[in-house]
């Protein structure tokens, strides 16, 4: 079990990986006390020279003195080797924030498994059991990866995240090739290699908050408070909820305090936020929201939780259609369309992922035809069929 602690050793392994058809990669990190994830470990494995999955596997310690990840980033940029992850989003965010790099070409076994009929957001352990025919020891799953030295149990657990992944990748890649769905996965992964996926704009941070008010003025104050919180958290690399929690932010947007005394009456505000830079920033944000001209206030229709004018009967029919198409194609229903997308379609919205690309071919086009009354659904037993009108 090799643990790499020098840049030279990392470069040597990455050179070997660059000659392999693929490399499996995973990371361990902590984020409880920071805004950005802190990388604590990188695991990598490649197939053997004879093509069998049982090739070299290593752990890379990014916390080791003097080690830089430049050789790894060079490998991630190398188009000749496929980079294989499972549920890659958080791993990719780390690499993008740290070095502005995305792995190319990319393969995500969770996305591929959802396309290949393994269900919604299937976990790695399930794929290990179903495809690699192995079991994983989960005792080190919730552990502090920043502490050194790592135990042998931790190292074994971490390596299993990439060694079994080789077998899973080869199986899923073959299945996608057989079914002709490789392009579907590639379309999905384009989102994961888009910088906007990982950039939180303080200007739009308010849209993450679920509000119950349709008041444009209230939303204007929420926008300013959320903007302040995001900028403060990013600048100091602390979790946004360490600045002010969502419920306290919405409380302040409702009570609109104008001074420290009024701010101090907030029931949900953390003690640290009742004074100093945070308190001053919150009061400035409330003031800015109150002074925003009416024509520059947020559109309530853009708020999270904004009420759509949904046709409930049509929404129910769309759910039946989605279930039928998912069963017929073996694609996870949640990958085809989310529950909120179904409601949005039933409310007349059309700029949605479910209505574009391969999803449109599988589900979206029929969903629109159902909305226009061009098709109907017929049920016989457990089977649902489309009937032309």
pLDDT per residue as tens, the chain (389 positions): 799 999 999 999 999 999 999 999 999 999 989 999 999 999 999 998 887 778 999 999 999 999 999 999 999 999 999 999 999 999 999 999 999 999 999 999 999 999 999 988 789 999 999 999 999 887 777 889 999 999 999 999 999 999 999 999 999 999 999 999 999 999 999 999 999 999 889 999 999 998 888 899 999 999 999 999 999 999 999 999 999 999 999 999 999 999 999 999 999 998 889 999 999 999 999 999 999 999 999 988 766 555 667 889 999 999 999 999 999 999 999 999 999 999 999 999 999 999 999 999 999 999 999 999 999 999 887 788 888 88
3-class DSSP assignment, residue 221: helix
3-class DSSP assignment, residue 320: helix
| Pair of tokens at residue 118 | 């393994």
pLDDT tens per residue, range 111-169: 999 999 998 878 999 999 999 999 988 777 788 999 999 999 999 999 999 999 999 99
Q: What is the pTM of this model?
A: 0.89
User: What residues form DSSP beta bridges with 38?
Assistant: 30
Q: What gap in Å lies between CA 29 and CA 19, rounded to an integer?
A: 28
Residue 23 has φ and ψ, to the nearest 5°, of -135, 130
Which domains can be identified in the chain, with CATH numbers?
2-197 (3.30.420.10), 202-302 (1.10.150.80), 312-388 (no CATH)
Torsion (CA) 74, 57, 46, 131 in degrees, nearest 10: -130
């Amino acid at each position: 079990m090799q643990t790499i602690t020098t840049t030279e050793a990392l470069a040597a392994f990455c050179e070997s990986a660059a000659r392999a058809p693929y490399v499996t990669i995973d990371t361990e990190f902590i984020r409880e006390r920071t805004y950005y994830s802190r990388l604590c470990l990188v695991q990598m494995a490649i197939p053997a020279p004879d093509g069998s999955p049982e090739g070299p596997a290593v752990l890379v310690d990014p916390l080791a003195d003097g080690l830089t990840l430049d050789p790894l980033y060079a490998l991630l940029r190398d188009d000749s080797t496929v980079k294989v992850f499972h549920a890659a989003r958080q791993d990719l965010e780390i690499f993008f924030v740290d070095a502005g790099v995305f792995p190319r070409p990319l393969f995500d076994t969770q996305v591929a498994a959802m396309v290949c009929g393994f269900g919604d957001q299937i976990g790695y352990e399930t794929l290990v059991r179903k495809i690699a025919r192995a079991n994983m020891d989960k005792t080190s799953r919730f552990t502090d990866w920043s502490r050194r030295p790592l135990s042998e149990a931790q190292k074994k657990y971490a390596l299993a995240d990439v060694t079994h992944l080789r077998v899973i990748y080869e199986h899923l890649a073959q299945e996608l090739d057989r079914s002709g769905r490789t392009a579907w996965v590639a379309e999905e992964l384009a989102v994961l290699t888009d910088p906007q996926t990982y950039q939180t704009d303080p200007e739009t941070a308010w849209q993450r908050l679920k509000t119950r008010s349709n008041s444009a003025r209230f939303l204007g104050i929420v926008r300013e408070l959320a903007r302040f919180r995001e900028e403060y958290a990013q600048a100091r690399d602390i979790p946004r909820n360490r600045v002010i929690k969502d419920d306290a932010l919405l409380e302040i947007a409702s009570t609109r305090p104008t001074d420290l005394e009024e701010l101090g009456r907030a029931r949900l505000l953390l003690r640290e936020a009742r004074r100093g830079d945070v308190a001053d920033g919150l009061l400035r944000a409330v003031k800015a929201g109150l002074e925003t001209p009416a024509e520059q206030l947020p559109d309530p229709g853009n708020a999270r939780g904004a009420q759509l004018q949904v046709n409930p009967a049509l929404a129910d029919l769309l759910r039946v259609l989605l279930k039928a198409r998912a069963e017929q194609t073996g694609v996870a229903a949640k990958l085809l369309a989310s529950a909120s997308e179904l409601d949005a379609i039933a409310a007349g919205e059309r700029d949605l992922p479910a209505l574009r690309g391969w999803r449109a071919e599988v589900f979206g086009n029929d969903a629109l035809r159902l909305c226009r009354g061009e098709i109907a659904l017929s049920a016989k037993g457990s089977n649902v069929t489309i009937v032309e009108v």
